[in-house]
Amino acid sequence: MLSEGARLIGESGKSYLAVSPLGQSNVWTAVEQSNDPKKPLQVVVIKEPGEVDTQPGWPSFQNEMVMHEVFKDSPAIRQQIDRIPPTTTGGPPM
């Protein structure tokens, strides 16, 4: 589960700091961390599998990721900028 202050590394190598939940316990605001003081702060949304998605491989979350890719050009869909892979301890992807 995400928690305030959690540091996450995306597939792109970018680092994110979890700030606060956005209404649901599996959806959080986060900021992209940067060593460049001239780069403006980027606020992002991070989502992990929901509490009810308990089957191995998080099938509901994986289906959501596929649908996100299918409809990525829709103006109603938030742009996916990065993916955070599962942790080595078996934690879910984000």
Beta partners for residue 27, in sequence order? 47
CB within 8 A of 70, min separation 6: which ones?
none
Q: Which of 76, 73, 20 is nearest to 46 (CA)?
A: 20
pLDDT on residue 4: 94
Question: What global pTM score does this model have?
Answer: 0.76
Say how far apart CA 88 and CA 47 lie, in whole Å.
18
pLDDT on residue 79: 86
Averaged pLDDT, groups of 10, the chain, 94 residues long:
91 94 91 86 88 78 85 89 75 60
